[in-house]
Amino acid sequence: MQFLEIKSAMRAVTLTDTAVAKLRELIQAEGDPSLMLRFGVRPGGCSGFSYEMYFDTATAEGDVVETFEDVKVVVDRESLEHVRGSTLDYKEDLMGAGFAIQNPNVTSSCGCGNSFN
């Protein structure tokens, strides 16, 4: 199985230090250091696409694997054009906590913020 591990300045996705720390914490809680964050998009939502993120242990042909210290992020070939250049952050405030995505490829998004075009 082949995958592409990017080590250049042109990343598919960038993680902030806060996101790396939170992902490391979640992976440690799962007890499986082989887990990688699979980050991508799927058709759906009111604006055309919605994000998907989940832990995975396998890669597929054409996947791009980014490494941030000891945390790996996998982006599938189909999602790459929609997420390239995105930044994944983790935020905690009085309103709640969660991952936030800044994507320079988004031309419009829905009012609820869960899908984009």
CATH of the domain at 25: 2.60.300.12
What is the tens place of the pLDDT at every residue in 38-80? 999 988 766 578 889 999 999 999 999 999 999 999 999 999 9
Kindly state whether residue 95 falls inside one of the protein's structural domains: yes
Q: Containing domain of residue 50, as a range?
A: 4-106
- The helix (run of H) or strand (run of E) holding residue 100 is strand 96-102
Q: Is residue 113 part of a domain?
A: no
- Domain assignment present for residue 115? The answer is no
Predicted TM-score of the model (pTM): 0.79
**Residue 13 belongs to a domain:** yes
Domain count for the chain, please give it.
1
Residue 117 domain-assigned (yes or no): no
